[in-house]
């Protein structure tokens, strides 16, 4: 975090070259991620592609885990940017449209970058634990955006009351209230609970597709399937 403690001293030709090399490594890392999967990420292979001996890479990246962290942050931010872009393209008051755009953006990015998606939302990499202080902020951008849409819709009175809501048990209501207070939201527990369900369901649907859980040709109309699922989920929270 406090690596460059001098906020804006002078870039210098050296740090520029160094930053460029690190960026190249991340780029190659993403390619390897997409082609061979997260846990097959090899610093040696990256060094080869970089035209350099393996040990040289350690000058720029502390370890394989460090590279994984860099890729994690990079991927989270790319996903977050993609979501922001598509959501912001719609009117602020178009809550349902914004939710559907968010969902489509997640799916689109995931299908296009299955390796990175697997790193973020797939099985945890065996010996690796993400450093929370650097990954939580980028890692929560999508859910923040999602609850933001819900909250805005609720504040605008645009959420239609949903029927057949099961009661939220005491313990869960407490957790939800804590989340609401921490994020400064205005949503009732029932809506927040359904929002969490929508969140997990969205990624469940995307994961099924990206990880190949559907049969090879059970759902050729995957786009339509996903769209229909998201519309159903939108209805579930009254959007």
Partner DNA sequence: CAAAGTCAAGAGCAGTGCTCTCAAAAGTTG
Partner DNA sequence: CAACTTTTGAGAGCACTGCTCTTGACTTTG
Binding status of residue 96 toward a second copy by CB under 8 A: no
Binding status of residue 197 toward a second copy by CB under 8 A: yes
Binding status of residue 85 toward a second copy by CB under 8 A: no
Query: Measured from the CB of residue 69, what is the shortest distance to DNA in angstroms?
Result: 11
Tell me if 83 sits within 8 A of 44, measured CB to CB: no
Query: Measured from the CB of residue 59, what is the shortest distance to DNA in angstroms?
Result: 4
Nearest to 37 by CA among 106, 132, 119: 119
**Sign of the CA dihedral 148, 154, 160, 162?**
positive
The C-alpha atoms of residue 97 and residue 95 are separated, in whole angstroms, by 5
Rama region for 109: left / alpha / beta (φ>0; ψ in -120 to 50; rest): alpha
Binding status of residue 63 toward DNA by CB under 7 A: yes
The C-alpha atoms of residue 75 and residue 82 are separated, in whole angstroms, by 10
Contacts to DNA by CB under 7 A: 12-14, 17-18, 21, 41-45, 52-56, 58-60, 63-65
In the complex, the residues that contact a second copy under the rule CB under 8 A are 36-40, 118-119, 121-127, 132, 136, 163-166, 168-169, 171-172, 174-175, 179, 193-194, 196-197, 200-205, 207-208, 211-213, 215-216, 218-221, 224-225, 227-229, 231-233, 235-236
């Amino acid at each position: 975090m406090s690596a460059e403690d001098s906020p804006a001293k002078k870039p210098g030709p050296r740090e520029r070259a160094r930053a460029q090399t690190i960026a190249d490594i991340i780029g190659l890392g993403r390619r390897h991620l997409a082609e061979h999967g997260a846990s097959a990420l090899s610093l040696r292979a990256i060094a080869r592609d970089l035209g350099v001996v393996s040990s040289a890479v350690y000058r720029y990246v502390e370890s394989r885990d460090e590279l994984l962290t860099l890729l994690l942050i990079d991927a989270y931010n790319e996903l977050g940017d993609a979501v922001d872009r598509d959501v912001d393209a719609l009117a602020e008051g178009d809550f349902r449209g914004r939710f559907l755009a968010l969902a489509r953006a997640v799916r689109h990015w995931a299908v296009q970058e299955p390796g990175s998606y697997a790193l973020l939302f797939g099985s945890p990499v065996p010996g690796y634990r993400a450093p929370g202080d650097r990954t939580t902020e980028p890692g929560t951008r999508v859910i923040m955006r999602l609850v933001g849409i819900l909250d805005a819709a609720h504040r605008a009175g645009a959420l239609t009351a949903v029927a057949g809501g099961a009661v939220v048990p005491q313990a869960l209501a407490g957790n939800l209230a804590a989340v609401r207070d921490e994020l400064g939201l205005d949503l009732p527990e029932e809506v927040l609970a359904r929002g969490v369900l929508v969140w997990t369901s969205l990624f469940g649907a995307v994961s099924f597709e990206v990880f190949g859980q559907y049969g090879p040709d059970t759902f050729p109309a995957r786009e339509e399937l996903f769209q229909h699922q998201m519309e159903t989920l939108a209805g579930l929270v009254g959007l």
